[in-house]
A and B are shown apart, each in its own frame.
Chain A
Amino acid sequence: NAGVTQTPKFRILKIGQSMTLQCTQDMNHNYMYWYRQDPGMGLKLIYYSVGAGITDKGEVPNGYNVSRSTTEDFPLRLELAAPSQTSVYFCASSSSDRAVNTEAFFGQGTRLTVV
């Protein structure tokens, strides 16, 4: 009963490096989301997807890219990392049957530091 799994849990990147944050869910959810949470702040939506092959920008998409080739996976790509991307990143998923259940399940987070 894994739910939403994120890897890695921690990562330190140098300015200008790139990386991919992995997110996998085993609940057959159509909706998936990426949020970032800065210290003492709320969650800001980076990108979201309503199904395989469909992605859309959230509130803070600049500097990130996503893809959704399968229902299970929703990786987040950081190109040319910048110190402003230092944050905790959360992946979440929810059912598309919004009349019945819209609970979003979150992963444990990836703590990223860009130095």
Chain B
Amino acid sequence: QQQVKQSPQSLIVQKGGISIINCAYENTAFDYFPWYQQFPGKGPALLIAIRPDVSEKKEGRFTISFNKSAKQFSLHIMDSQPGDSATYFCAANNEKLTFGTGTRLTIIP
């Protein structure tokens, strides 16, 4: 039972471009939507998060767009850099965190 669906599975973006990762959820009880970044050999670390009462949150080059009626949210990375190459997970929370399947992002020069 996949409660949070994430796409694409992998993504290659040129340096300076915009990386976009999408997620959709089913459970309307979710009330917190974080994005985690994971580098090889490390545990996931919180990147940015949003609550469903706002439609957008921006922190530096990272933006979450949230569409409550469509039950979708997305991560946008502006001016993508090689250091952004990592696996990104969306998640949704209503006491326990449920993760998407992850997106392996590669930024090429």
Contacts and interface: CB of A to CB of B under 8 A. Distances in A.
Interface string B71-109: 000000000000000000100010111111110100000
A74 interface: no
B49 A43 contact: no
A66 B98 CA distance: 19
Contacts, number: 56
Contact of B97 (A4, A41, A45): A45
B39 to A, nearest CB: 11
A80 to B, nearest CB: 26
A108 B45 CA distance: 10
Interface residues of B, number: 23
Interface in A44-86: 44-45, 48, 50, 58-59
B25 to A, nearest CB: 14
B54 interface: no
Interface in A1-56: 4, 31, 33, 35, 40-45, 48, 50
Report, as a range, how many residues of chain A touch the other chain.
20 to 34
A45 B98 contact: yes
Contacts of B96: 31, 33, 45, 48, 58
Interface of B: 1, 6, 31-32, 34, 41-46, 49, 89, 93, 95-102, 104
18 contacts: A33-B97, A41-B101, A42-B100, A42-B102, A43-B44, A45-B97, A45-B99, A50-B95, A59-B1, A92-B97, A98-B31, A102-B34, A103-B34, A103-B49, A104-B46, A104-B97, A106-B45, A109-B43
4 nearest interchain CB pairs? A106-B43, A42-B101, A43-B99, A42-B102
Interface of A: 4, 31, 33, 35, 40-45, 48, 50, 58-59, 90, 92, 94, 98, 102-104, 106-109
